Amino acid sequence: MKKMLSLFALVVLALFVAGAAVADLDIDSVSYQGKGVVRVVFEDDDDDDYVVYKKPKVKVTDDNGVSYTAKITKKNKRFMVFKISNPASGKRYSFTITGIRERGDDDFDTVNGSFSIASVEMPKISAVAYKGNGKVEVSFSGNQVQYKNVKVSASDSQGNSYTAKVVNKGNKSLVFKVENVRANTSYNFTISGIGSRGAGEYGTLSGSFNAPSLGDVQIKKIDYDSKGKLDVEFTGKVSYQNLSVIAKAGDGKVYNARVKDKDNDELELVISGIVEGRNAVYTLEISGVSV
């Protein structure tokens, strides 16, 4: 009888200890934030669990087994943020976090997860405008752009190279200046270190522009007001004969413009039916104007 009681007590004790074990740490969500930044949120089952770190590290590889440098930029009891260097779009990545455990657990765990970076197309050039004095404005369509060590090179049709410098850049356009531009000459240019925002990849875009002869009409600036209203300012005095103005959208659709007012250095136009928005880019064609 005594032997049976002892065995029973031993069994009950073993079951109790097994029930007290702490579950492994799990990941609730992983999100790619762009520019190599990844946010990992840890699972919280009972609203008071949190994670503890001890010299945590992150290792990242892609599906081809290529390793990427990863650096932890932020961590707290609920989530961790790390950044990987030079990620590529259109790939899936796996990561391992070491030196981490759930509160109440005795041992530090290894946590595994994965994330993907969607394929993002390179931006496209929607318009090129020569502004005079060697300045060229390039507008982009599609996603907003980002830059990394952006540079511009320029050459003429004879293959002669010209010094070019970026003077202003934004998420939808870039302005550069070419030194010693000659009038009535065509130029080719290449922009390097440009890509779509969030893609993590950078490439090159190429285009061309014409530097008009000194006797040609040049536009100084175009101001868009609202509801199709435009003010066009010329660099000098102009005259008109059989004036006609149209606007072309990126898809080739043509809009007629009505001349509301004009003087010898400015036009006030109204264009009906154009679509407003961040991606709405139009080319203005003015005929019947001369210096």
pLDDT tens for 259-272 read: 889 888 888 988 88
Q: What is the model's pLDDT at position 24?
A: 66
Q: Is the pLDDT of residue 251 over 50?
A: yes
Q: What is the model's pLDDT at position 248?
A: 85
Q: What is the model's pLDDT at position 199?
A: 66
Q: Is the pLDDT of residue 66 over 90?
A: yes
Residues 89/118, Cβ–Cβ less than 8 Å: yes
Q: Is the pLDDT of residue 131 over 90?
A: no
Q: Is the pLDDT of residue 7 over 90?
A: no
Residues 140/126, Cβ–Cβ less than 8 Å: yes
Q: What is the model's pLDDT at position 6?
A: 46
3-state secondary structure of 43: coil
Q: Distance between CA 152 and CA 102 in Å, rounded? A: 52
Model-level pTM greater than 0.75? no
Q: Provide the edge-to-edge strand list for the sheet that holds 145-156.
A: 161-162, 145-156, 185-196, 203-211
Q: Is the pLDDT of residue 87 over 80?
A: yes
Q: Is the pLDDT of residue 273 over 90?
A: no
Q: What is the model's pLDDT at position 71?
A: 96
Strand partners, 84: 70
Side chain identity at 270, as an amino acid letter?
V
Q: What is the model's pLDDT at position 96?
A: 95
Q: What is the model's pLDDT at position 20?
A: 37
Side chain identity at 223, as an amino acid letter?
D
Can you give the C-alpha Rg of the chain in angstroms?
Answer: 31
Q: Is the pLDDT of residue 114 over 90?
A: yes
Q: Distance between CA 57 and CA 79 in Å, rounded? A: 14
Q: What is the model's pLDDT at position 235?
A: 77
Q: Is the pLDDT of residue 290 over 90?
A: no
Q: Distance between CA 176 and CA 152 in Å, rounded? A: 7
Position with higher pLDDT, 94 vs 236: 94
Q: Distance between CA 252 and CA 212 in Å, rounded? A: 24
Q: Distance between CA 23 and CA 101 in Å, rounded? A: 10
Q: Is the pLDDT of residue 1 over 70?
A: no
Residues 206/184, Cβ–Cβ less than 8 Å: no
Q: CB 40: neighbour CB atoms within 10 A?
A: 22
Q: Is the pLDDT of residue 10 over 70?
A: no
Q: Distance between CA 153 and CA 143 in Å, rounded? A: 23
Residues 222/203, Cβ–Cβ less than 8 Å: no
Q: Distance between CA 111 and CA 50 in Å, rounded? A: 14
Provide the CA 196 distance to its chain's centre, in angstroms: 4
